[in-house]
A and B are shown apart, each in its own frame.
Chain A
Amino acid sequence: MPTNPLSRRGFLVGVAATTALGVTGCGLGGGSTDDNADSGPVTGEVTGEIKFQTWALKPKYTDYINGMVTAFQKQHNGVKVTWIDQPADGYLQKVTADAAAGNLPDVVNVPPDLSYPLARKKLLLNIDTAMPDAKKDYLDGGWAAYALPGRPGSYGFPWYLNTGPTFYNKALFRQVGLDAEHPPTSYAELEAAALVMAQRSNKQIAMLGLTPVIADFGLYGVKVMSDDGTKFTFNEAKGVEFVEMYKRLFDAGALIPEALSATYTGAGTKFMNQQIAWAPGSAYDLQNFKTNAPSLYANVGITKTITSTGKANLYVQGLSVPSASKNKPTALAFAKFVTNAQNQMAFAKLTAIFPSTKGSMSDPYFSQDGGTDEGRVRVAAAKQLDTAVNYTPVQWSEQMTTLLQQKMSDAMQGKATPKQALDDTVAQCNKLLAG
């Protein structure tokens, strides 16, 4: 027999031990943190290789990104930037997987709500300390979006900003005898118009396509979070009042039944199909209507977002540098370069976004509409941008979004009162926040 019992046993024990060690090791212990992340300015030569990850910019903006990469490489001898673009779908999963594996690219596009859990785990560099003179170049709102509530520092270079007007379907307004040239400008007017629309169309046309998301509470003037950012407070009286309004709309048929399980994109599709008459959006959507829904485009009305606070909602995108980056000086320099005023302005002229750099908004491009619909949306949005606020707290997670939608659905169906639904959501979200 060709056996050596000891060796075989040793071999099997070795395999078992390796597996067991691997098993117990994976998923436990800390993520890759760097205690020096907040220790001071990052200095060093800008050279060597870095990876740069964007979110769904290929192929539309390939030339623009490649142009910036080439320009940066020309400015700094010996630098090589590898650009990776991830598709829109599954971006969160990709960032999650990379972060869990300690494998994030050196410069990575993350919106504020993604930056929060990463920064909390010390996986991102604090730009305030790593590059102290950067802050002065950016709009305060953009910079603040990457701050960690309750802790000093900011964890991303604000990149492009957006704020949307609201679109409405003039043809549907006319069909039920509403004034298509004077759309509602307050919540009370919106509710009244929505009820008229549902009643006159015998519930065939609904005004709204989505139950309220967290930013909607903020726009209504509800205090979403406590000042110290430790607990959610949107179950206050104003929040209940807001959900009660939605309940009245749902009962009257002014909110489509699919809203109970629809996603934001789903509601957008309903607007494109002309099944709902009112939808929040951005200048980007206008191009989408033009290409994919020409009959809607011919009838689309553009109006200011309704808000009780006087401040529109702000969407922020930014670039962060992981604290585990092996080439921090180059990564920081490149992130700063991509988000500088000149490059952001060039980007804004390519598509419907707004620069986050100070002074850029005074460019005539944002105050003159050139007589086009796109221009009108751009100018309208630019006016809102001055005071716009990111109403979605950075602590708000995907699980919380799902939870809120489920509870709102319960409230609409009468399975819970608006107050019960909100109390329940806040309690569960606070539990998630503490975890």
Chain B
Amino acid sequence: MRIVQQRWFTPWLFLLPGLAVVIGFNLFPFLNTVVLAFTDAKVLGGGHFTGAENFVRLVQDPAFWTAVGNSALYVVGVVPPLVILPLLLALLVERKLPGITFFRTAFFTPVIASIVVVGLIWTWLLDSRGLVNDVLRALGVLTRPIPFLTDEWLLLASAMLVTVWKGLGYYMIIYLAALGTVPKELHEAAQVDGAGWWRRLWSVTLPALRPTMVLVAVLSAVAAFRVFSEVYLLAGPAGGPGGSDTTLVMLIQQVGTGLTGDLGYSSALSVVLFVLTLGLLLATNRLNRKEDL
């Protein structure tokens, strides 16, 4: 058999379709956003280079700090439950019991449900005249409705609840896959040594799952920092009372859309979002490495 010598560009040809998609839909928009961040471009064209003016503006913009604060708070509020609760669910449904598939499917259903539908359902539930308040009032627990959707803090907490509820099933599946890789021998050896269920969970399962937990933390943290739909659907396009629940992505949307959208400023906000997300990833990575030592 004769080995045909390839031309240097042959591998590039194989790469071309994928490369075209990445360049066209990821790299190009990304670089374009970076360039626009230094201009006063509008949605309908126009714009000149303005240096770092947009970045100076955002530092002085109270709406920016509110948005960063809300996005950061979202990470703090959402990541711990999304690391712990799906693990507990996975441990529950991991056992091979009759009918367990039903529960696995049930827990996964919110993941595939449309976020708009989910948002509407939760709005109906949490409204001042919604199911939750009506039931509590009917039971005599409340005289005044709980302002889930009108108090700035409760609104953010409600959105976090929706994120956690919707994300549980997704991370549960990741944990289920990881649980399958925990060596059985270790469990058997621990059992022989007299370790109970709790001890085996603590000393065998959790150490084996640590990389998965870090992965879940990273994935959920990045998603939480970029939250949009849940807050938008519960708080409305203005971002809750006085815009106090606006997250960073919502602010980008508010500033940059519409025929009069300020593309330059919203691009600057996007660049900051990118840098902060990257920082979050690097910090988690560093933390993980330190723990490995």
Contacts and interface: CB of A to CB of B under 8 A. Distances in A.
A93 interface: yes
Contacts of A32: 45
Given A28-B45, A261-B240, A415-B242, A256 B257 contact: no
B8 A92 contact: no
B258 A30 contact: no
A148 B5 CA distance: 67
Contacts of B41: 27-28
Contact of A2 (B8, B23, B46, B240): B8
Interface stretch (A54-62, A183-191, A394-402): A394-402
A260 B150 contact: yes
Contacts of A262: 236
Interface stretch (A4-12, A127-135, A220-228, A379-387): A4-12
A100 interface: yes
Interface stretch (A16-24, A34-42, A155-163, A333-341): A16-24
A410 interface: yes
Interface string A247-267: 000000000111011110010
B236 A117 contact: no
Of A117, A261, A266, most buried by chain B (CB within 10 Å of CB) is A261
A123 interface: yes
A352 interface: no
B contact face: mostly helix, strand, loop, or mixed: loop
B76 interface: no
Interface string A304-339: 000000000000000000000000000000000000
Contacts of A435: 40, 42, 260, 262
Contact of B241 (A263, A273, A413): A413
Contacts of B77: none
Given A8-B8, A23-B31, A257 B150 contact: yes
Given A27-B45, A96-B258, A406 B6 contact: no
Contacts of B43: 96, 99-100
B129 A260 contact: no
Contact of A261 (B129, B236, B262): B236
A31 B45 contact: yes
A386 to B, nearest CB: 31
B243 A406 contact: yes
A31 B129 contact: no
Contacts of A99: 43-44, 259
A390 interface: no
Contacts of B242: 260, 406-407, 409-410, 413, 415
Contact of B260 (A26, A28, A256, A397): A397
A100 B123 CA distance: 35
A290 interface: no
A100 B258 contact: no
A398 B35 contact: no
Nearest to A408: B242
Interface string A395-435: 00111001001110110010100000000000000001001
A8 B47 CA distance: 36
B259 A261 contact: no
Interface in B230-277: 235-243, 254-255, 257-263
A28 B38 CA distance: 11
Interface of A: 2-4, 7-8, 11, 19, 22-24, 26-32, 92-93, 95-96, 99-100, 114, 117-118, 121, 123, 256-258, 260-263, 266, 273, 275, 397-399, 402, 405-407, 409-410, 413, 415, 432, 435
